[in-house]
Amino acid sequence: MSWEHVSLCWSAEISATQKLVLMCYAEAANKDAECWPSSRFVAKQTGLSKSAVQKARRFLIAEGFLVVVDECRGYTPYYRVQPTGEAPEIPDNVVELKQG
């Protein structure tokens, strides 16, 4: 993802842990803002525990900073990064995340 998108993460009004996780996803994203890093990868990159990454990711999804594009891309889900948390226009191929 471009540094412009990574820099947008700085203005997000979220906790430091959530921001760090969001920035890691943004840095891993391709030109279409899509990425698929594992929790283990994000934990290693950020120095956070895997459970802290998973908790932050659940928040980021619930608040619209991450959109689950495909839950079955290999071993890890496929995400679209929304650094500003704005609700994106959801394409037909995006799956709805079930709360639970």
- Residue 66 is predicted with a pLDDT of 93
pTM of the model: 0.79
What structural domains does the chain harbor? 3-81 (1.10.10.10)
Half-sphere exposure of 88 (CA within 13 A, CB side): 20
- Say if residue 66 is exposed, middle or buried (CB neighbours under 10 Å; 0-12, 13-18, 19+): buried
Provide the CA 32 distance to its chain's centre, in angstroms. 13
% the chain with pLDDT above 90 = 47
Which residue bears the tokens 């820099």? Answer: 7
Strand 34-35 and strand 66-70: the pairing is unpaired
Q: Which residues of the chain have pLDDT under 50?
A: 88, 94, 96-100
